[in-house]
Chains A and B, each alone.
Chain A
Amino acid sequence: MIKLKVEHLGKTFSRGDDTRVVLGDISFEVEDRQFVSILGPSGCGKTTLLSILAGFQDATSGNILLGNRKVSRPGPDRGFVFQNYALFPWMTVKENVMFPMKQQNVPREERERTAARLLNMAQLDGKENFFPKELSGGMKQRTAFIRALAGRPEILLMDEPMGAVDFQMRQKLQEELESLWLKEQITVIMVTHDVDEAVYLSDRVIVLSSKQGRILDDVFIDLPRPRDREAEAYEKHKTRLNSLLRKAFKEI
């Protein structure tokens, strides 16, 4: 089943006579429950693409279809995980997780039940009444992930969710994210510039080129989960994507 359809999406920024094409003509389809990464060098427009999908920015041309509905404004049908997590610092972990449900008028009992289930799944029991500043990086990420899930979105959009952490932490967070995702099985589109992250997490990697933001390649990663970073096939995928990324970079 096709969950998301992106049709001829384009984005140009213009200031006076100066126009810059950020996204050329992007079209792709995402299957239900697929984990898709959008990989590209910095400045290739991948974050712009994600923020158009979320409705934070308008596209210059093209359509986005979620299920069969056209979407353009932000909405709870698309959950968003921000690079810096954007947890509301004035709300506790639990209040953060409850927020999307409150906005959708979910009955109180159900709210409590869902929050308890998600917090338990993310191993945040006992941290319900902590403020974000009191959490470690990993806990913040897990909170952001389950907060996005709490609104029952049809698709999850993640903007470099591991962008702000060091290498050791990154691998650990990727593993945590994978196990959370395996439990929820939701459609995900994740933006990243890290090849290892893309291979570790995705069913499919869409590589964007930095020249006029077009799709350079669409790679399927068919490896059993949880993934073994030392496996030969894993390495092969990494090598292939690395060379694609180099190519993408050269196209400037």
Chain B
Amino acid sequence: MEKVTNQIPKNISLSELTGEQRGLLNKILSPVISLSAFVGFWYLMSLHYNSQLLLPTPRSTFTAFVLFFKTPDVWKNLLLTLERVLKGFSCAMIIGVPVGLLMGVSKTATRMLDPLLGCFRQVPIMAWVPLSIIWFGLGNGPTIFMIALAGLFSVVLNTIVGVRNISKDYFHAARSMGAGSFSIFRHIVLPGALPDILGGARLALGGGWMAVICAEFIATSAGFGFAMVEAQTRMETEKLLALMILGAFVGYLMDKCICAAGNVLTQWK
């Protein structure tokens, strides 16, 4: 009779894994462990307080989250808010990049604008809310203004750094090859500062996303932030928590998008 060889592999113990496999396992397991620990802690605390108003359980929050997929209102508010973010962010870029480039190349411009920038930057962004309501009323106006303002400073400052960090050799090289001022701006300053400009854009978008939610708490009657206040006043804490989680996801996705765009634009790096 033929012998049947045993095809089932014997149990693999951790010590038999190669270094690479162990690294991969570690990479997957570590965040899973910390996240489950957090949710476990949340669950225990919700049991302890035993109040859907104070701290809903992870399960009811998850249910509220799933329910979003059946409520168009949530998405309508989210889209409205995203539209505001994009508009405000665009304003920040359209104003911030040229100002930053100018300050990066011109010492006079820096001397003139630096004190102004330094002062305005110190005003907490939320302190602009009352004035922006006076100026723009309620709705899109103040929110877009706040997002633009929140992003403007990081765009300007990063652009300046980007221009100043370009190696002097590149300017010398371009000049010794016959390049004029415009050509140097177009072929050296712009591409050389681009990685830092994109860094500024990333901060501006993140900052804008934070600012818009806060602005919507106060200065509007629609949008993602408004939906959160609504959930709070209706005492639907599980919906509020679910909205917060959704907000985190959206912010994360926006950040990933801008990083991906940056990688495409600066392949040479």
Known: A86-B167, A88-B188. A103 touches B178 (CB 8 A): yes
Q: Is the CB of A151 within 8 A of B192?
A: no
Q: Is the CB of A131 within 8 A of B268?
A: yes
Interface string of A61-81 (1 = CB under 8 A from B): 000000000000011101110
A74 to B175, CA, bound (A): 6
Interface residue? A82 (CB, 8 A): yes
Q: Is the CB of A151 within 8 A of B178?
A: yes
Q: Is the CB of B177 within 8 A of A76?
A: yes
Known: A84-B169, A103-B183. A89 touches B175 (CB 8 A): no
Q: Is the CB of A82 within 8 A of B192?
A: no
Q: Is the CB of A54 within 8 A of B172?
A: yes
Interface residue? A108 (CB, 8 A): no
A103 to B183, CA, bound (A): 8
Q: Which of A126-152 contact B (CB under 8 A)?
A: 131-133, 147, 151
Q: Which of A81-123 contact B (CB under 8 A)?
A: 82, 84, 86, 88-91, 99-100, 103-104
A79 to B173, CA, bound (A): 9
Dominant secondary structure of chain B at its interface with chain A:
helix
- Give the residues in chain B near A86, CB-CB below 8 Å: 167, 169-170, 172-173
Q: Is the CB of A103 within 8 A of B169?
A: no
Q: Is the CB of B269 within 8 A of A103?
A: no
Instruction: Give the shortest distance, in Å, between B179 (CB) and chain A (any CB).
Output: 5
Instruction: Give the shortest distance, in Å, between A72 (CB) and chain B (any CB).
Output: 13
Q: Which of B63-91 contact A (CB under 8 A)?
A: none
Known: A89-B268, A133-B269. A80 touches B173 (CB 8 A): yes
Q: Is the CB of B269 within 8 A of A89?
A: yes
Known: A131-B268, A133-B269. A90 touches B194 (CB 8 A): yes
Interface residue? B176 (CB, 8 A): yes
Q: Which of B221-269 contact A (CB under 8 A)?
A: 266-269
- Give the residues in chain B near A132, CB-CB below 8 Å: 268
Q: Is the CB of A99 within 8 A of B177?
A: yes
A78 to B173, CA, bound (A): 11
Instruction: Give the shortest distance, in Å, between A164 (CB) and chain B (any CB).
Output: 13
Interface residue? A163 (CB, 8 A): no
Interface string of A45-68 (1 = CB under 8 A from B): 000000000111000000000000
Instruction: Give the shortest distance, in Å, between A21 (CB) and chain B (any CB).
Output: 24
- Give the residues in chain A near B194, CB-CB below 8 Å: 90
Interface residue? B187 (CB, 8 A): yes
- Give the residues in chain B near A80, CB-CB below 8 Å: 172-173, 176
Interface residue? B191 (CB, 8 A): yes
Choose from A56, A88, A104, A133 the contact partner of B170 (Cβ within 8 Å).
Answer: A88
Q: Is the CB of A133 within 8 A of B177?
A: no
Instruction: Give the shortest distance, in Å, between B60 (CB) and chain A (any CB).
Output: 52
- Give the residues in chain B near A79, CB-CB below 8 Å: 176-177
- In the A-B complex, the 10 residue pairs with the smallest Cβ-Cβ separation, listed nearest first, are A100-B177, A76-B178, A86-B169, A90-B191, A103-B178, A74-B175, A131-B268, A74-B176, A86-B173, A80-B176
| Chain A interface residues (CB < 8 Å from chain B) | 54-56, 74-76, 78-80, 82, 84, 86, 88-91, 99-100, 103-104, 131-133, 147, 151
| Chain B interface residues (CB < 8 Å from chain A) | 167, 169-170, 172-180, 183, 187-188, 191-192, 194, 266-269
Give me 24 A-to-B residue pairs in the complex whose CB atoms sit less than 8 angstroms apart, sorted by A's number. A54-B172, A54-B176, A76-B177, A79-B176, A80-B173, A86-B169, A86-B170, A89-B268, A89-B269, A90-B194, A90-B268, A91-B187, A91-B268, A99-B174, A99-B177, A99-B179, A99-B187, A100-B177, A103-B174, A103-B177, A132-B268, A133-B268, A133-B269, A151-B177
